[in-house]
Structure 1
Amino acid sequence: MNKFIAFVQTLVYSVIAITTFGQDSRAVLFDADWRFKKDSLTGLENPTYKDDRWRNLNLPHDWSIEDLPGQLAGQVMGPFTKASVGKAATGYTEGGVGWYRKTFTLDKSYQGKQTYITFDGVYMDADVWINGHHLGNHPYGYTAFSYNLTDFLQPTDQPNVIAVRAKNLGKNSRWYAGAGIYRHVWLMAVNPVHTAINGTFVTTPSITPGAAQVLVESSVENMTAQPKTVEVRVDVLNPSGQVVASQKQSVMVATMSTRSSTQQLTVKMPVLWTLEKPILYSARVTLLSEGKMLDQTRTPFGIRSLEFNGQKGFLLNGNVVKIKGGCIHHDNGPLGAVALDRAEERKIELLKKAGYNAIRLSHNPSSSALLNACDRLGMLVVTDAFDMWEKEKLGVSNGYHRFFKEWWKKDIDAIMLRDRNHPSIIIWGIGNEIWEAADTSGHRIAKQLADEVRRLDPTRAVTEAMLYLPQQIKYKWEAFGPHLANLDVDGYNYFIGGPYDPMQRDSATTHRYETEHAQHPNKLYMSTESYPSAALENWNAAEKYSYVIGGFSWTAMDYIGEANIGGPSLVAQATKIPKGLMSLVFFFKPESWPVFNAHCGDLDLIGNRKAASYYQNVVWRNSPIELLVHRPIPEGMKEARSPWGFPDELKSWSWSGQEGKPMQVSVYTRAKRVRLELNGKTIAEQTVPEGSITATFDIPYQSGTLTAHGFDGEKEVGTSSLSTTGKPVAIRLVADRTTIKADQQDLSYVQVELVDQAGQVVPWDNDTEITYQLTGNASLAGVGNGSPVDLSSFQQAHKKVYEGRGLVILRASGQKGVATLTATARGMKAAKIAITTR
């Protein structure tokens, strides 16, 4: 009977969504009706300043993805400029200084309240004023921060002016960071006695099939001149909103101070948070005094257990889980760094569909929206706090290292307090490829960071991504020992497999898992970054050793910046490229124009899967067989591939002009034998080499259908087919959602496809430009394609397709109704799609 009840609960909970909140359940979005101007002048914070000629916009907003003035041939294209300070590293985008202002009036419900404003992220070095009063400066562009506005607000019904200045100056990042208030802003009014912002911490210290212990710690803040005795009532709610456990406790809070309340509750027959069914509960904390409710918050959480065991591995709810992960940067392609909830959610949906069960945030804290999506969809998360500590890295002279000594603790606290209730987070990362890792300052800082992380959350593991950097060549591996002693899980970047890399100190690093485990048997190990070509070797290590828990490819999805580190190049056959210098040749080249994105993603910039993604799924045993074809290489040339790249292969058997010429066909499979058929006739057969999952064929091209069959003995274990397409004759529009919320925040992603007479996408078309017309209750948030070299605008209503595909992102306008998108192109049948906003 208990099993039946649990089964029914799971079914019910899987279809009832719990309300999740971006920052705090008491907060309201403060994103609408801002004014913006790029300007380096001072004095714009003055409340009497006339900003009527500034541009109106709604947040989140990223000015660095907007079109630049003066389209100079070959120098400025769309939002990109060759004059960019960051050059290829930041994708040729422009920084500068931007100002935001908002005039708002509060009603009488704010009287007697404490009023806070919270920014989820401003890039970067942000200053904030309210009514001319400087509230403070926040340097780091990726952490959330709040200010108490109460003492500086005008009386109710009188206008207030908030002003924000963001400075994206000099070379301050190794990748595309965006610029401005690119994440949400919230306003919150609470009674003087309230639960502090991020003041609730929920853990599940004990879980059995019949019951789970839920520990809720609440920080109660008293901003009055008198001590207060407060009843703290905690209710645990299931996804349908029913109270399944309740408890209360009285605490006395001294004047102008904070007091902690800790209560343990029992939830009977809990439904666990898993990757397959990510069930969310919530903890409702209510503060009462003399029967009157003073405050109430609601914090989503998951009931799940984590175990990091040197002999068993990583266990989620008692079950071993191997990480099938990918690193991601924070941008959203055509939207730039804008972190709208739907954009973040779609990214996780795409990655989960592509076979991932984990992401690594590279190399900074993410938006709240992205973590909320991971909680809802069942995606594991390894965080990353900083890319630099005290020392400058790779010429990023204006980077966060300038602020680290003063700000590291404030920013670690901001990360931990905002994010520690997310069940998706399993490991906290404290740094990536840190320059001073092997010296005494690195040892000291690693301990400080790890200690602070564990003080605020002792329930998860701590890791760091380690790599021999040029600065560290003088050190032997043993110099890293005191640093690594602070970690529960050692993260290695490119230490296992892949092409030789000069940043690896010696060949012993390829055996680092074994040697380190022999010395530290209670620790766990993972690949925090790996080359695509090393996917099989890394996964073999994860399957072979319990203490190797998996890893993260670089990278799961294309991103703006670090331009062309993964892109292939064609060179003369006679050209000799020293293998040991490949990483440096590709990574440190100062120019890549017109390539603006990294071009190393398993998915492209708009979310379509690329060759490495299909290969990875065979490595992970998610797919039995995948068939791909290499793009033709001109005679006398050869492909020079970056370590971060993958063979220039497509899921295509459409190669007009190649008739009779040999095509390189790759079949990825764990089957023992592969047979190729063309138009129903067997044309080749091959045994897959021992220790490999790749069978390679040279096949004369002939149009039709090419099919790969995989066999173990006589048993067929999988097939994969490609068919030749005809000429494009029509446009097809496919929306991920045809009904969205009319709240100026929701998005509809419309896939644009060029199709032939049979309705097949035509993968060889890179030239057709499509013009879009939008009417009704939505705006054009962005247009894009997967091309790494298309520098044209993301915001104009026209763009070429790439490999037969494009993308249009529509943003709700705030009014209910219908928006209609029409797509036209010369010689093509037009397409139309309606999106309902309600």
Structure 2
Amino acid sequence: MKKFFLSLLFLLSILPMTAQRKASLDMDWRFRRGGTINAEQMDYDDLRWHLVTVPHDFSMEPLVNVAGDARMADVQVGPFSKLSIGNWDTGQTVGGEGWYRKTVALPVEGNTSMDTYLSQTRVSIRFDGIYNQSEVWVNGVKAASNVYGYMPFVVCLNEILADKRNRDARNEREVTIAVKAVNEGLNSRWYAGSGIFRHVWLETTEMLHLDEWDTYVDGSELINKGKDANVKVFAKVFNETNRTRVVTLHVDLLDDQEKVVAQNDLEFEVPAMKKDGFEVATEMTVKEPRLWSVDQPYRYRARVSIHTSGEEKDALLIPFGIRSIQFSAEEGFKLNGKQLKLYGGCVHHDNGLLGGAAIDRAEVRKVEVLKAQGFNAVRCSHNLPSEAFLHACDSLGMLVIDEVFDQWEEAKRPDDYSQYFARDCKKDMALMVRRDRNHPSVIMWSIGNEIAQRADVPRGKEIALELNLAANNEDRTRPTTMAVNSFWDRPLFTWEKDVHRVFDNIEIGGYNYEWRHYVADHDSFPDRIMYGSESFPKEMAQNWNLVDKNPYIIGDFVWTAIDYLGEAGLGYTYERSDNQWIQLLSWPWFNSWCGDLDLIGNKKPQSYYRDVLWKRSKLSMAIRPSVTEGEYEDVSLWGWTAEENHWNFEKGYLPIELRPENYQVTNVVGHLKHDVNGYRSDSLRVNVYSREPRVRLLVNDSVVGEKSTDPETYTATFTVAYEPGSIKAMTVPQTRKATADSLEYVTALTPARIVLKADREAISASHNDLSYIEIQIEDEEGHLCPTAEIPLEIIVIGKANVVA
């Protein structure tokens, strides 16, 4: 099936979220890829650099063949290079060094002098994420650095600008920001992206102010048998003036119609120069609240303001949800008092060929397509997601496991975060919780994924307790978890003997591919709450049958819900005659190919099977031509058999993912064997999936056969010869009153037209919005031509760009 998605980006400005306090700095950055000299200096000439809008991922920019070497055409396509040192890990992409510069006009009013402005106003720039290691200069002065690219950080400008020598003599109300982003070496097991790949904000407040990450609304407590809610509001007030202030904290809780449903005032004194903040808390009752849930993700807003001498000094408007979460081995996971299984999938942070750029609409659409596929929960693997993604989960009703680390002190790649872990882990753990605790979608904090030190004595326990404490100090309403794998990396350890040391240190047990231990572990540890933190697609039935039957297993998260860049070829499928172990594939593979959905959100064959498994559909069908004689189909642990959901199998047809040219340069060269003439069309395997006990198959309205479905895998398999026309699967009614369900595929004829379908009728004139346009090839009767291959050139007319 040939589908393409284009993201059209309208090049107009965006209004800041709160003009007086927080303004977007996403537009008009000048960018240069590669190292340079003195680019941090205030008077550096950057006019030859090109303009970009952030979020921006420079690893997705087409690579330039500066020397015009014709040989590079064989090793370089767009952003992908056979020479990538990250190879399959990073999807054949190239990192390196990138520089960004921007001049920012500070919002100084009238004739106010800079000295007065800086004495009255706290001025900061917030970076939501720069991958990987970054340094920031303000007017040529080193202001900050960060080593974990997924973590946000704030740069305060006051101290630098207080020294008049650091101001721009041409216009001291302007500041020049220079950012160096470095993504070098082997620092990630998947595609991360490079550069300022999340939003940038200018934040201005008075010297008596609140902090966004230190203002927290807890709507998790339902009272009076669930009829009302006790809402707690925690705030930290910063007094950077030279005198003690009497402050009133005022809170209004607003519904979606801006009606005040509860309010409270609290008066207190804040000592002078209280730069570490003065903590206060208040609570109030919301009568008969509308609860946040996966089906009705209703959100209130808390307007939290501080006043002194009758004057408002600062205010924040915080979306929040009223909802309760409970976990127990006896009753499983409960949302608002009702049992709910987690229909889960793991997701990486990239947005396909947009790379790591966390454009708001891209994040929303990702959640939309996951919800449409039946997922109600995601695990953010294995790093802090963007805030835009969490806002999307809040607004659309998607539960989230928020994960912070892929490694602790023991490295998985030579240049990864492990070298900074001991120094920064508690700070980064706490920062994740502080940033994300206002999101009702978040239900667990994950302290790590497949950690090598997980059961080490004593260090594994020491680290886990430190991270648990860092999380609990910031939020006591959500449990901690960890994704735990088998001890292949610790051969002296066994699951039965040693894994309890890991689960003793967390509240919810995440099992990576270890579903076979569920029942035995429950017998030994009946209070343990479990879930599949990762599972193989081809074992989804075994996993889900156990989840469905046992309350102590609260859900399952497939690896993965949607394809991602990097870990190239992890979900491979091909024909072979040997037994050599393979896990990842080199050039030209860049896609993981293990998701239920592909890079642009289209359903793959395994997703149709999941529809039956999750009772979203009563029937699905997929066809796979026979394997070449003398060979067998090798399906990766993370893969799916090479079946397709159509009825166009002319002699010689070969799916693109199985073609020999896609394996010409791999770590297993010489072992990949395919019939270059394509599949035999006289022997097709047809899998019919249904929870109904019997199904029937017809080709061109002639009955091929009738079979029982396997009660554990819900599958019946037929062998047929290809005949153009139609193939139909039907359920067989077991009673006279029952009706049959059917599914039919029709052979598409000669391609006749190109059809474009936009995901929405209108978009906003904003760099944060995108239009996803699906391009389909159809025959005269409107049938999709799944095997059509027609070169297309895309031309956009108007104020828009093709960004992917």
Report the TM-score when normalising by structure 2: 0.89
Q: 1:24 to 1:553 in 2, by over 3 A?
A: farther
Other structure's SS at 1:518 match: helix
Other structure's SS at 1:513 match: helix
Question: How many pairs were matched up?
Answer: 736
Of 423, 426, 444, 2:462 maps to: 444
Q: Which moved more, 1:647-656 or 1:623-632?
A: 623-632
Other structure's SS at 1:122 match: coil
Of 195, 212, 221, 1:180 maps to: 195
Of 330, 348, 354, 1:311 maps to: 330
Conserved in 1, the CA contact under 8 Å of 2:649 and 2:681? no
Aligned partners of 1:698 and 1:385: how far apart in 2?
Answer: 48
Conserved in 1, the CA contact under 8 Å of 2:689 and 2:709? no
Aligned partners of 2:16 and 2:377: how far apart in 1?
Answer: 22
Please give the residue correspondences for 1:653-672 in structure 2 after superposition, counting only pairs within 5 Å: 653-657=647-651, 661-672=682-693
Aligned partners of 1:692 and 1:354: how far apart in 2?
Answer: 20
Q: Hey, what does 1:61 align to over in structure 2?
A: 56
Q: Hey, what does 2:769 align to over in structure 1?
A: 746
Other structure's SS at 1:695 match: strand
1:199 Cα shift?
A: 1.6
Aligned partners of 1:716 and 1:540: how far apart in 2?
Answer: 26
1:198-235 CA distance string (max 9 Å, x none): 12111122244532111111111111111111100001
Of 145, 154, 163, 1:137 maps to: 145
Q: Hey, what does 2:582 align to over in structure 1?
A: 586
Residue type at the aligned position of 1:135: A
1:174 Cα shift?
A: 0.2
Q: 1:660 to 1:772 in 2, by over 3 A?
A: closer
1:119-160 CA distance string (max 9 Å, x none): 111101111111112122110011111121123244876321
Aligned partners of 2:271 and 2:741: how far apart in 1?
Answer: 69
Of 604, 615, 622, 2:609 maps to: 615
Q: 1:427 to 1:21 in 2, by over 3 A?
A: farther
1:170-215 CA distance string (max 9 Å, x none): 0000000100000111111011111123121111222445321111
Of 116, 120, 123, 1:115 maps to: 123
Other structure's SS at 1:403 match: helix
Name structure 2 gaps, 5 residues minimum.
1-13, 162-166, 653-679
Of 759, 779, 784, 2:801 maps to: 779
1:576 Cα shift?
A: 4.2
1:716 Cα shift?
A: 3.6
Conserved in 2, the CA contact under 8 Å of 1:212 and 1:303? yes
Aligned partners of 2:381 and 2:175: how far apart in 1?
Answer: 38
Residue type at the aligned position of 2:545: N
Residue type at the aligned position of 1:648: A
Q: 1:480 to 1:526 in 2, by over 3 A?
A: same
Q: Hey, what does 1:801 align to over in structure 2?
A: none
Other structure's SS at 1:164 match: strand
1:23 Cα shift?
A: 11
Aligned partners of 1:492 and 1:75: how far apart in 2?
Answer: 40
Conserved in 2, the CA contact under 8 Å of 1:235 and 1:283? yes
Say whether residues 1:704 and 2:719 are aligned partners.
Answer: no
Aligned partners of 1:421 and 1:608: how far apart in 2?
Answer: 32
Say whether residues 1:691 and 2:691 are aligned partners.
Answer: no
Q: Hey, what does 2:374 align to over in structure 1?
A: 355
Conserved in 2, the CA contact under 8 Å of 1:22 and 1:368? no
Other structure's SS at 2:366 match: helix
1:25 Cα shift?
A: 9.5
Aligned partners of 2:494 and 2:565: how far apart in 1?
Answer: 35
Say whether residues 1:674 and 2:676 are aligned partners.
Answer: no
Q: 1:712 to 1:643 in 2, by over 3 A?
A: farther
Q: Hey, what does 2:174 align to over in structure 1?
A: 159
Other structure's SS at 1:248 match: strand
Q: 1:142 to 1:494 in 2, by over 3 A?
A: same
Conserved in 2, the CA contact under 8 Å of 1:275 and 1:377? yes
Q: Hey, what does 1:549 align to over in structure 2?
A: 554
Residue type at the aligned position of 1:457: D
1:706 Cα shift?
A: 1.4
1:701 Cα shift?
A: 1.1
Conserved in 1, the CA contact under 8 Å of 2:90 and 2:189? yes
1:748 Cα shift?
A: 0.5
Conserved in 2, the CA contact under 8 Å of 1:439 and 1:479? no
- Bigger relative contact order, structure 1 or 2 (CA pairs below 8 A, ≥6 apart): 2
Q: 1:692 to 1:188 in 2, by over 3 A?
A: same
Q: Cα RMSD between the aligned structures?
A: 2.0
Aligned partners of 2:17 and 2:150: how far apart in 1?
Answer: 15
Conserved in 1, the CA contact under 8 Å of 2:688 and 2:715? yes
Please give the residue correspondences for 1:50-129 in structure 2 after superposition, counting only pairs within 5 Å: 50-70=45-65, 72-109=72-109, 111=117, 112-129=120-137
Other structure's SS at 1:740 match: coil
Aligned partners of 2:394 and 2:345: how far apart in 1?
Answer: 17
Q: Which moved more, 1:375-384 or 1:701-710?
A: 701-710
Other structure's SS at 1:608 match: coil
Question: Percent same amino acid among aligned pairs?
Answer: 38
1:495 Cα shift?
A: 0.8
Please give the residue correspondences for 1:222-301 in structure 2 after superposition, counting only pairs within 5 Å: 222-257=239-274, 258-301=277-320
Q: Hey, what does 1:38 align to over in structure 2?
A: 33
Q: Hey, what does 2:10 align to over in structure 1?
A: none
Aligned partners of 2:426 and 2:15: how far apart in 1?
Answer: 27
Aligned partners of 1:611 and 1:464: how far apart in 2?
Answer: 30
Other structure's SS at 1:538 match: helix
Q: 1:631 to 1:221 in 2, by over 3 A?
A: farther
Q: Hey, what does 2:205 align to over in structure 1?
A: 190
Residue type at the aligned position of 2:505: N
1:105 Cα shift?
A: 1.6
Aligned partners of 2:414 and 2:775: how far apart in 1?
Answer: 41
Conserved in 1, the CA contact under 8 Å of 2:230 and 2:284? yes
Conserved in 2, the CA contact under 8 Å of 1:209 and 1:270? no
Aligned partners of 1:470 and 1:23: how far apart in 2?
Answer: 51
1:401 Cα shift?
A: 0.5
1:24 Cα shift?
A: 11
1:250 Cα shift?
A: 0.5
Other structure's SS at 1:676 match: strand
Of 212, 217, 220, 2:229 maps to: 212
Q: Hey, what does 1:627 align to over in structure 2?
A: 621
Q: Hey, what does 1:491 align to over in structure 2?
A: 510
Other structure's SS at 1:534 match: helix
Q: Which moved more, 1:713-722 or 1:128-137?
A: 713-722
Of 330, 335, 339, 2:354 maps to: 335
Report the TM-score when normalising by structure 1: 0.85
Say whether residues 1:326 and 2:345 are aligned partners.
Answer: yes
Aligned partners of 1:543 and 1:480: how far apart in 2?
Answer: 24
Conserved in 2, the CA contact under 8 Å of 1:709 and 1:716? no
Q: Hey, what does 1:533 align to over in structure 2?
A: 538
Q: Which moved more, 1:292-301 or 1:627-636?
A: 627-636
1:636 Cα shift?
A: 4.2
Residue type at the aligned position of 1:726: L
Other structure's SS at 2:214 match: strand
Q: Which moved more, 1:311-320 or 1:450-459?
A: 450-459
Conserved in 2, the CA contact under 8 Å of 1:115 and 1:189? yes
Aligned partners of 1:553 and 1:21: how far apart in 2?
Answer: 38
Q: Hey, what does 2:11 align to over in structure 1?
A: none
Q: Hey, what does 1:640 align to over in structure 2?
A: 634
1:479 Cα shift?
A: 2.7
Q: 1:253 to 1:599 in 2, by over 3 A?
A: same
1:373-432 CA distance string (max 9 Å, x none): 000000111121100110011xx1000101101111121122111101100111111100
Q: Hey, what does 1:811 align to over in structure 2?
A: none
Residue type at the aligned position of 2:686: V
Aligned partners of 1:411 and 1:25: how far apart in 2?
Answer: 29
1:21 Cα shift?
A: 9.9
Aligned partners of 1:21 and 1:763: how far apart in 2?
Answer: 44
Other structure's SS at 1:359 match: strand
Q: Which moved more, 1:344-353 or 1:463-472?
A: 463-472
Other structure's SS at 2:499 match: helix
Aligned partners of 1:360 and 1:100: how far apart in 2?
Answer: 32
